[in-house]
Amino acid sequence: MKIAIVTGASSGIGKEFVRQVGHFYRTLDEVWVIARRGHRLQELNELSSVPVRILEGDLLHEAVYERMGTMLTEEKPDVRMLVNAAGFGKSGLVETILSDDRDAQLEMVDLNCRALSRITFLCLPFLSKGSRILNMASAAAFSPQPLFTVYAATKAYVLSFSRALGAEQKSRGIYVTAVCPGPVDTEFFRVSGELENPLKKLTKVKASGVVKKALKDSRAGKDISIYGLPMKGAYLASRLLPHRLLAEIMMRFNPRDAKRRL
């Protein structure tokens, strides 16, 4: 049985991957979808061209990993694609976020880094030649980002992890792509806080375009997928300019954010 697995599938980019993945792999038998909100996962049957199997569960808790591990071991599917799209962010000064929600920072690390890694480790034995892994990183991974401190750091982990894993898996014919969009028009900002930075407002894009390019870049065997000229420019700047300078520039473009959250 050939399958794709998508985490964070109940909304946003994860949901869009479920909608598009059947057109990328036309021989899929099922798409396994994982998210906390089971009632939303039911809607995916209408969007997907491939039958959907629902694994309702919170990736911050043990039960979903036990269930998924059992399913993989018993059914031994050929995992043609793994999409790690689950994650969240919180914007603001580190100490302000800590005072508002003491657990949010560590939960970001646990979901964005630990859960992504754990799902990948579970699936690796069931990937074969030609399989793909797409990990949702972010343009925030390119350099340290004040007022998005922990989130940007978690995405830097995802980018580094993806590239190194891709190098390791090349001999197996398995391709790993880190997807690094800028702001995407999804529910993400309901949790992170609405955009105040004018540059980020201007560069917000649709999830459909990000996912379409990610799938194309994955097919081409690229280790990173960057959507849109502004984010490609940001990536180039992160390669050429000192990160300390970039951090200072970001603070200058976020004065209202800094003052509002003090």
Q: d(Cα 51, Cα 30) in Å, to the nearest integer? A: 5
Rounded to a whole number, what is the distance in angstroms from the first to the last CA of the chain? 53
What's the confidence (pLDDT) of residue 247? 86
In the chain, which stretches have pLDDT less than 70?
Answer: 187-202, 253-262
CATH number of the domain residue 140 falls in: 3.40.50.720
For helices 12-24 and 207-219, the axis angle rounded to 10 degrees is 40
The three-state secondary structure class of 59 is coil
Total number of domains constituting the chain:
1
DSSP sequence for 219-233: HTT-SEE--SHHHHH
User: 133 pairs with which residues across the strands?
Assistant: 82, 176
Q: What is the pLDDT of residue 205?
A: 86
Residues 215, 219: Cα–Cα separation, whole Å: 6
- In the prediction, which pLDDT does 81 show? 98
Question: pLDDT tens for residues 198-237?
Answer: 555 567 789 999 999 999 999 999 999 999 999 999 999 9
Helix (H, G, I), strand (E, B) or coil at 89: coil
Residue 44 CA to residue 52 CA, distance in Å, equals: 7
Q: Minimal CA–CA distance to 224: which of 262, 178, 173?
A: 178
Question: What confidence tens digit (pLDDT) does each residue in 75-84 have?
Answer: 999 999 999 9
* DSSP reduced 3-state for 86: coil
Domain limits at 101? 2-261
What is the Cα–Cα distance from 168 to 108, expressed in whole angstroms?
26
| pLDDT reported for residue 43 | 85
Please name the residues in contact with 140: beta carbons below 8 A apart, sequence gap of 6 or more.
89, 148, 151, 152, 155, 156
What local confidence, expressed as pLDDT, does residue 257 receive? 46
Dist CA 52 CA 30 (whole Å): 6
